Amino acid sequence: MVASAVRIEELQRISAAVRSRSLRMVHSAKTGHPGGDLSSTDILVSLYFGAMRAGGTWTNAEDRDRFVMSKGHCSGAFYATLAQAGCFPAEWLDSYMQPMSMLNGHPDRNKLPGVEANTGPLGHGMPIATGMALAAKISGAAWRTFVLTGDGELQEGSNWEAAMTAAHYGLDNLTLIVDRNRIQQGAWTEDTIRLEPLADKWRAFGWAVHEVDGHDHAALVELFHRLPLEPGKPNCVIAHTHKGQGVSFMMDRPEWHHKVPSDTELEAALKELQS
């Protein structure tokens, strides 16, 4: 599929809206993870509005595609995307992380439409998604499973147990997207526990791997429409991104993993995103 210029412009507009809304949510709640929200937004938007059968009338359909937000701490961008996709009313976003809100800091499938799995403890999403994809294979279902992880999250061993399982069962209906922004809480990933050569590691585990600019909607949409990358192998998409993408003073700054913008910073960030 070759995405049209008009379609890409619409995805860019949606991404800007998601980034702006997620920042306002974090600012209002006085807590959150804005850096990762901003790095993952273009991936989320490309999936929900360019590739998956999900959201809107697909939200509860049996043959919908499944998406697992393994990096559940970046719930601001995830919730804003779900609202844009019609999973629930946009005004619900105003209750983000408030007492008794359905919009917890970490997604809860028992509370919010469109959430497929409870996530937050890192390393859980990949095993859940692997089980989903295996269930689809066993039942002969055509729906696909996508899972988004952080790169620092890959330091959790449960991901690699799931990786072996997915390759063993030939789950080419499973797609892992790694938000490769190279920053985790407090430091750069390579200064914490080195991940590189990351692509080679996934290939060694029996996965088909493709690296892509995680902020290029056209490249992301075209890639998602080419899946599976290799029949009989699960798909690993390493999406190269920037923490704090779209806001100059947040980009590639480790402190914005969980820093909350002040009133002045929020105003400046929204002005950049709307320009």
pLDDT (tens digit, 9 = 90+) per residue, 193-215?
Answer: 999 999 999 999 999 999 999 99
pTM exceeds cut of 0.85? yes
Residue 1: pLDDT over 70: no
For the residues 37-42, what does the mean pLDDT come to?
98
pLDDT category of residue 3 using cuts at 50, 70 and 90 = low
Q: Which domains does the chain have, with CATH numbers?
A: 5-274 (3.40.50.970)
SS3 239: strand
For the residues 78-89, what does the mean pLDDT come to?
98
Residue in 153, 177, 197 with CA at minimum distance from that of residue 47: 177
pLDDT digits (tens, 9 = 90+) for 233-253: 999 999 999 999 999 999 999
